[in-house]
Amino acid sequence: MLKVINVVGARPNFMKVAPIVEAMKRRATEFAPLIVHTGQHYDAQMSDAFFHDLGLPKPDVYLGVGSGSHAAQTAAVMQSFEPVVLEEKPDWVLVVGDVNSTLACALVCSKLGIKVAHVEAGLRSRDRTMPEEINRILTDQLADLLLTPSQDGDANLRAEGIPDSRIRFVGNVMIDSLFNQLKRAEASTVRDDLGIANKDYAALTLHRPSNVDDAATFARILDALEQISRRLPIIFPVHPRTRARIVEFGFNKRIERAQNLRLIEPLGYIDFLRLYSGARLVLTDSGGIQEETTALSIPCLTLRENTERPITVEMGSNRIVGTDTDKITRAAFNALDAPRTNQTPPRIPPLWDGHTADRILDAITKG
Ligand code: UD1
């Protein structure tokens, strides 16, 4: 029986850990799972809503670290996680993704000689100005078992000198959650509530510091959104970081004038799935949403200069358009003008099949 601490910290972690914990509970003779929530995200809509929507059991331990600078947040997670590990003495600690909590917990364990499994290993944007890229590189160097969502991840790890014996290609566990919840999401009334049921609309998310913390970049993106919103409504669930910058940069008035650019509160997992799964087009700077739209073959424009998820571009659903106003607008209009139904069948990456959680558990069992 393996005792495993599953770490969650921020919004993009919950949908990765939910299917893993569910599989561990199903395989109760092999695994004794615990959930530790660092509290990096703490608002009801950024955290509790996801536990509820994904059927994730309440955390066994809540560290409550909250927000702070990267150094303060990472250090706070380390300081509060270490005593938990010392007390629980797990066989494995499982960390997911690339947020500050991921690196902090991996670092604590590697110093204590506790084995670490990293889910979503090997992704690289090659952009070290991105805090997540630092978290990815370092977590992968520290972890004992590197579980990759796509084979470009294996190649990236090998190129950094990581031996094959630590790498397992298991597929994308976030897609397990997506397939698990797709049917349930049909009951969400979010499209009716927004008055967009059976209409063409775009869905937008924006929260990368490189996009929203810089007034000039944010303004360029807004220029494009204003133009696109003249063609169809854009539904924009606003991340707290982005909400704060809109106020700070005085963008409220501009946004109010663009009547078809509709800002709403962040959505839970089910409502957001219902929203983007019916969208004509998705615009985002998120990593996970590039993958979710690929799994459902929905056209996605990524408002960044690079991606750590090149397979989404290779499959044809995702385009990297950067933050230039004309480039974004042109790409959006091209996507909207393209025929709705493609002759070729949708292309889904290998092992994005809804069964990744069990492959992760098998890999941990074999060590
Ligand atoms: C973090 C992750 C990022 C992920 C994103 C998803 C890192 C380095 N970044 O970025 O990879 O894509 O989460 O959301 O780990 N805030 C709230 N309520 C909350 C959480 C945050 O109001 O529940 C506000 C705080 O003012 C905080 C700011 O949002 O300062 C940013 O939060 P933080 O967790 O530092 O980074 P994110 O931008 O959310």
How confident is the model over 183-203, as pLDDT tens digits? 999 999 999 999 999 999 999
Residues 97-126 have a mean pLDDT of 98
Residue 66 CA, closest ligand 1 atom number: 20
Q: How many CB atoms lie within 10 A of CB 343?
A: 5
Residue 101 CA, closest ligand 1 atom number: 15
The catalytic position among 37, 41, 207, 239 is: 207
Q: Which residue minimizes the CA distance to atom 37 of ligand 1?
A: 241
Cα of 165 vs centre of ligand 1, distance in Å, is 34
Residues 328-345 have a mean pLDDT of 85
How confident is the model over 7-20, as pLDDT tens digits? 999 999 999 999 99
107 vs 79, 95, 118, 131, 330, CA distance in Å?
A: 11, 11, 12, 16, 44
**Whether 207 is catalytic:** yes
How confident is the model over 310-326, as pLDDT tens digits? 999 999 999 999 999 99
Q: Which residue minimizes the CA distance to atom 9 of ligand 1?
A: 99
Residue 43 CA, closest ligand 1 atom number: 23
Q: Is 124 exposed, middle or buried (0-12, 13-18, 19+ CB in 10 A)?
A: buried
Distance of CA 244 to the CA centre of its chain: 21
Most informative mutation of 7, 16, 40 for ligand 1 (most atoms within 8 A of CB): 40
Whole-model pTM: value is 0.96
Cα of 10 vs centre of ligand 1, distance in Å, is 7
How confident is the model over 232-275, as pLDDT tens digits? 999 999 999 999 999 999 999 999 999 899 999 999 999 999 99
Cα of 243 vs centre of ligand 1, distance in Å, is 12
Residue 121: the pLDDT is 98
* pLDDT beyond 70 at 35: yes
Residue closest to 269 by CA, chosen among 98, 96, 57, 54? 54
Q: Which residue minimizes the CA distance to atom 3 of ligand 1?
A: 99
* pLDDT beyond 70 at 342: no
Question: Any idea which of 16-20, 32-36, 208-212, 342-346 has the lowest mean pLDDT?
Answer: 342-346
Over the chain, what is the mean pLDDT?
A: 97
* pLDDT beyond 70 at 334: yes
Residue 341: the pLDDT is 64
Residue 367: the pLDDT is 83
Angle separating helix axes 215-228 and 325-337, nearest 10 degrees: 30
Ligand 1, residues at Cβ distance < 6 Å:
10-12, 40-43, 46, 67, 98-100, 131-132, 207, 239-241
* pLDDT beyond 60 at 343: no
Cα of 350 vs centre of ligand 1, distance in Å, is 31
Residue closest to 194 by CA, chosen among 237, 242, 148, 136? 237
* pLDDT beyond 80 at 345: no
